[in-house]
Amino acid sequence: MSISDHALDIDFPQFKSRILDLRKNDPAFRQLSDDYDRLDKKIRGLEVRDVPTDDQHFSALKMERASLKDRLYQQLAKGA
């Protein structure tokens, strides 16, 4: 299984400066991106340590990460 870092600046390099700007100036974006980062690290940690978890739980975590990423992308793309 491939263990990829899904940090926003890696997945959306074209928005790197916008990510920094929004994290600095938009508390709601910063909170959402912090939540996303924590969840991504949790998922990667489970993958790296091969922690036993049922597929349904793991899939739910990944779906939540995808939902957060979609919300963040909408904010990034809105100002581009």
* pTM: predicted TM-score of the whole model, two decimal places: 0.84
Counting beta carbons within 10 angstroms of the beta carbon of residue 70, is it exposed (0 to 12), middle (13 to 18) or buried (19 or more)? exposed
pLDDT of the residue at 3? 58
pLDDT of the residue at 20? 95
pLDDT of the residue at 1? 47
Domain locations in the chain as residue ranges:
8-78
Q: How far apart are CA 80 and CA 78, in angstroms?
A: 6
What is the amino acid identity at position 43? I
DSSP string, 18-63: HHHHHHHH-HHHHHHHHHHHHHHHHHHHHHHHT----HHHHHHHHH
Please list the pLDDT of the chain residue by residue as tens digits (80 residues): 455 677 888 889 999 999 999 999 999 999 999 999 999 999 888 877 766 666 888 889 999 999 999 999 999 998 76
